[in-house]
Structure 1
Amino acid sequence: MPRRTAQEWIRLSLRTPGILIFGMVMAPCGWVLDLTATVAPSWRTLNNLPNRPTSEYIEQGIWDICRRTTSSPRGECSLEDTTYFGNEIIEVAQGLMVASLVVTLVGLAVAIPGVRCWKDRPNWVAAGLGGLLIFLSGVMTIIPIAWYTHILNDVTTVSPVIDVRVGYCIVLGYIGGIFEILGGFVMFIGICRCCGGRNRGEVRVEDARGTQFRQKPPPRPTIIPSLDRRSNPSTTVPYSKDSLDDDVSFPRAKSPGVRSVNTSYSGRPGDADL
């Protein structure tokens, strides 16, 4: 089947396609979550520390380690642990998380010029390449997060009595990576026209001629009944002249009184007339 040219398709409107809106919303949200997961020192927490109060716990991240208590939100950070930071996963996570943040910004910078809605059609190549970069940034976030979670108890040799728990950075990293993967993938599928062009908001020209460009029938005229019943020939109710004169919604001027005529006047002047 020969491939259709671009001239055989037409956009239904100048609005930004939904797949591009979805990607441009999900990517910044994922970037903010990934940034929080990168800088916050809570990839895992160590509870029930030996020879320490039960309310005290340690938060370990990829850049810093903090000691906190449940009674006070503030804690002591910048703790030294060469054994923890010497693990391979820590170095890999540092590099991939920073690279993910940078690649997401580059992907947004590439995609924004192609998503401009004031053009007749978006630049699908630029938007698709930006979506591909955003997709790769999400993958670079998921890899260290999943690896760290898999070896959560093996990052360092900890005492069996210590309770190792997942930190909130792991959860935020998973959510942010999934946001970027979904947003980048949806934007990338705009490079190829699929689903009959509905992913781009387009239809074939021959289909548009029969639906979108069909002339609409003229609107039916609205007949407003006349208030003047005497001049409305369509009425079938007879009215008399007296009923028409009485059927008024405003007061009418009084007619002058009828002068009395003296029929006995003979025309001869009397004494009173002199």
Structure 2
Amino acid sequence: MRTPGILIFGMVLAPCGWILDLTATVAPNWRTLHNIPQRPENEIIQQGIFDICTTTDTSTSQTCQQEDPEYFQEEIIPVSQGLMVASLVVTLIGIAVAIPGVRCWKDRPNWTVAGLGGLLIFLSGVMTIIPISWYTHILTNVTTVTTGAEIRVGYCIVLGYIGGIFEVLGGFVMFIGICRCCGGKNRGEKPVEEVTNRNARLDVCNNSSKRKA
């Protein structure tokens, strides 16, 4: 039997969301500081939840591990660190749980197992969206030793939103499969053996009709 479309949808979105969330977690670009007073005009400070780097508009090189105790003491930073790492771990667990339920080499998928994996993936997406949304809401209020600079949203915020939404959608679609199980009959899905036997019977009937004619 073919793997149901809603399970394929979830199993594709979940890894994609995980990769985006991983990038958002480790990359130091949740926000950027431009036009920094008493600094070179083209210098940019990139602030993430685990690291801070400096770069310039005209160079691709970065100098990381910059000190900013005021920034890392903000409540949002340790909360974001914990939730983003937890989201990555829960996503992997959800995918590992869902795989035995969606594998196509069995006659029918195990909708209960696949739905449980989908629930974990859904929760991991929520755990990503919470710190991303909170950080975005207080973007200009997070303190830093560098004052008076122009603050802009970093690409990690965008990647985090997209990754979290992917996981929420994929996990939700997989989870609602629990409500539509019944062996897949309500979706018109039939095991390969059943389809093959039916075609064989049709061939026999057609051959018999030709002989009589």
Give the TM-score, by structure 2 length: 0.86
- Residue 98 of structure 1 corresponds to which residue in structure 2? 85
Matched, 1:218 2:206: yes
The CA distance in 2 between the partners of 1:18 and 1:39, in whole Å, is 32
1:76 CA displacement: 1.3
Distance in 1 (CA, whole Å) between partners of 2:74 and 2:185 is 49
SS in 1 for 2:152: strand
Residue pair 1:33, 1:172 contacting (<8 A) in 2 also: yes
Query: Once the 2 structures are TM-superposed, how far is the Cα of residue 201 of structure 1 from its aligned partner?
Result: 4.5
Specify the SS of the correspondent of 1:51. coil
Residues 177-210 of structure 1: CA deviation (Å, up to 9, x unaligned)? 000000000100111128xx6775448xxxxxxx
Please report how far the alpha carbon of residue 159 of structure 1 lies from its aligned counterpart in structure 2 after TM superposition: 3.5
Q: Quick one: percent identity of the two aligned structures?
A: 73
Determine the C-alpha separation between the residues in 2 that align with 1:126 and 1:81: 45
- In structure 1, the partner of 2:34 is 47
Report what 1:181 is aligned to.
168
Instruction: State the partner residue of 1:20.
Output: 7
Closer, same or farther in 2 for the Cα pair 1:19/1:46, shift >3 Å? same
Relative to the length of structure 1, the TM-score reads 0.67
Which consecutive unaligned segments of at least 5 residues does structure 2 have?
191-197
- Structure 2 counterpart of 1:127, from 114, 119, 123: 114
1:163 Cα deviation (Å)? Answer: 1.0
Distance 1:63 1:22 in 2: 32
> In the alignment, which residue of structure 2 is the partner of 1:263?
none
What is the aligned partner in structure 1 of residue 195 from structure 2?
none
Please list every run of at least 4 consecutive aligned residues from structure 1 whose deviation after the TM superposition is greater than 2 angstroms. Answer: 157-160, 197-203, 215-221
More helix by proportion, 1 or 2? 2
In structure 1, the gaps of 5 or more residues are 1-13, 204-211, 222-274
Structure 1 residue identity aligned to 2:104: C
In 1, Cα distance between equivalents of 2:106 and 2:56: 56
Q: Any idea what SS the aligned residue of 1:72 has?
A: coil
Name the CA distance, whole Å, in 2 between partners of 1:38 and 1:200: 39
Per the TM alignment, residue 218 of structure 1 is displaced from its structure 2 partner at its CA by 3.1
Partner of 1:32: 19
Distance of aligned partners of 1:84 and 1:58 in 2 relative to their CA distance in 1, 3 Å threshold: same
RMSD: 2.2
